[in-house]
Amino acid sequence: MTARLLVLSADDHGLSDGSSRGILRAHDTRLSSSVPVLAVGPATGRAVAGLRDRPVVGAGAQLAVVGEDRPLLTACEIPTLVGHHGAFRPGGGRS
């Protein structure tokens, strides 16, 4: 029999303080195996600080390319992906 491995990833760490606390709780209780940090999340700075106390966390970066989150680059750098307000266009920039 082949061994099976299930990796549960708790996305959007940094989206809010509440969701970040829940994600860390899921990791601390071994419910999730990895914690991708939402790079443009409103609570990203505090979320990253919470990871520093957990050296065993499998952490990574989650880059949003759609949705209401503001991009890390300016509208001048990615004009085909953002609208006139600088936020990502619905549908990932498709016209």
First to last CA, the chain: 49
Q: Is the pTM of this model over 0.75?
A: no
Residue 37 has pLDDT above 70, yes or no: yes
Average pLDDT over residues 62-87: 76
Average pLDDT over residues 3-14: 82
Helix axes 44-51, 17-28, angle to 10 degrees: 20
Residue 55 has pLDDT above 90, yes or no: no
Half-sphere exposure (CA, 13 Å, Cβ side) for 34?
A: 13
> 19 falls in which pLDDT band (50, 70, 90)?
very high
Residue 3 has pLDDT above 70, yes or no: yes
pLDDT of residue 64: 67
The rounded percent of the chain whose pLDDT value lies above 70 is 80
Q: What angle do CA 13, 17, 21 make, to 5 degrees?
A: 70
DSSP string computed for 21-69:
HHHHHHHHTTS-SEEEEETT-TTHHHHHHHHTT-TT-EEEEE---SSSS
pLDDT of residue 94: 52
pLDDT of residue 95: 47
37 close to 47: Cβ distance less than 8 angstroms: yes
